[in-house]
Amino acid sequence: MLKNPRCLLVILLMTKWASSSKFEFTNVQCTSFDKSFDDFEYCYIRSANRSYKYLSAKVNLFKTPITKAKITLILYKRFNGYRPFMFNVTLDACRFLRNTDSSPIGKYFYDFFNSYSNINHTCPFKHDMIVEKIPIDFVNHRVTKVLPFPEGDYLLETHWIAYDIDRAMVKIYYTIS
Instruction: Write the DSSP assignment of 29-72 as a string of letters.
Output: EEEES-TTTEEEEEEEEEESSSS-EEEEEEEEESS--B--EEEE
Asked if the model's pLDDT at residue 14 lies above 60, the reply is: no
Q: Do the domain assignments include residue 7?
A: no
For residue 70, what is the domain's CATH number?
2.70.220.10
pLDDT tens figures, 44-97: 999 888 878 899 999 999 998 999 999 999 999 999 899 998 889 999 998 988
Number of domains in the chain: 1
Query: What mean pLDDT value characterizes the chain?
Result: 85
Our separate counts of H helices and E strands in the chain read 4, 8
Q: Do the domain assignments include residue 3?
A: no
What pTM, to 2 d.p., does this model score?
A: 0.82
Structural domain harbouring 44: 22-176
Q: Are 40 and 59 in contact (CB under 8 A)?
A: yes
Asked if the model's pLDDT at residue 12 lies above 80, the reply is: no
Q: Do the domain assignments include residue 157?
A: yes
Q: Do the domain assignments include residue 16?
A: no
Q: What is the pLDDT of residue 62?
A: 93
Q: Do the domain assignments include residue 98?
A: yes
Q: What is the pLDDT of residue 15?
A: 47
Q: Do the domain assignments include residue 14?
A: no
Q: Are 89 and 111 in contact (CB under 8 A)?
A: no
Q: Do the domain assignments include residue 170?
A: yes
Q: Are 77 and 83 in contact (CB under 8 A)?
A: yes
pLDDT tens figures, 154-172: 999 999 999 999 999 999 9
